[in-house]
């Protein structure tokens, strides 16, 4: 694991527990950025590089897009499973044409659903990046 502030490797069990290296723990009293990261440790956040080696944390504001991405990923997996099941049952019945049609249809539907899943993730990530750029330009 790495330190969540500076990115250095964590070497001891105590460092792994606090997720901070020794240098960042020493600077903790004077560094308000570390205090903010500890307060928001369990929230859904993205890291954005800031001046120097410090990392600015920004909460992602698009949980619905993330949920839709997971939904489309689930649909992609079920489409692939149903395509294979259709192909197997077609093979058992001796229909070779439907066997290949089931495999091809399962792959096509999986690819379409996976495309939408990744598209939702990319849109949320782009929106977060645009928000971070606007925030950095305002300062």
Same domain, residue pair 55 and 70: no
Q: At residue 96, does pLDDT exceed 70? A: yes
Asked if 58 contacts 128 with a C-beta cutoff of 8 angstroms, the reply is yes
What's the confidence (pLDDT) of residue 135? 84
Q: At residue 78, does pLDDT exceed 80? A: yes
What's the confidence (pLDDT) of residue 65? 86
In a domain, 48, yes or no: yes
Asked if 117 contacts 73 with a C-beta cutoff of 8 angstroms, the reply is yes
- Structural domain boundaries, residue 122: 63-138
Same domain, residue pair 42 and 72: no
What digits encode the pLDDT tens for the residues 55-64? 555 556 788 8
The pTM of the full predicted model, rounded to 2 decimals, is 0.54
In a domain, 36, yes or no: yes
Q: Give the distance from CA 68 to its chain's centroid.
A: 13
Q: What is the DSSP letter of 135?
A: H
> DSSP strand E in the chain: where?
45-49, 55-59
Q: Which residue has the tokens 């909460």?
A: 59
Number of domains in the chain: 2
Question: Higher model confidence: residue 128 or residue 112?
Answer: 112
Strand partners, 46: 58
Same domain, residue pair 44 and 86: no
């Amino acid at each position: 694991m790495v330190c969540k502030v500076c990115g250095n490797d964590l070497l001891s069990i105590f460092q792994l527990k606090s997720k901070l290296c020794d240098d960042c723990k020493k600077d903790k009293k004077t560094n308000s950025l570390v205090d903010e990261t500890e307060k928001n440790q369990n929230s859904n956040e993205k890291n954005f590089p800031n001046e120097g080696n410090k990392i600015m944390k920004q909460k992602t504001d698009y949980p619905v897009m993330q949920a839709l991405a997971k939904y489309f990923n689930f649909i992609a997996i079920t489409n692939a499973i149903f395509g294979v099941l259709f192909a197997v049952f077609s093979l058992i019945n001796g229909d070779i044409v439907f066997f290949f049609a089931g495999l091809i249809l399962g792959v096509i539907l999986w690819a379409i659903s996976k495309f939408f899943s990744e598209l939702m993730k990319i849109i949320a990530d782009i929106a977060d990046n645009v928000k971070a750029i606007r925030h950095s330009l305002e300062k």
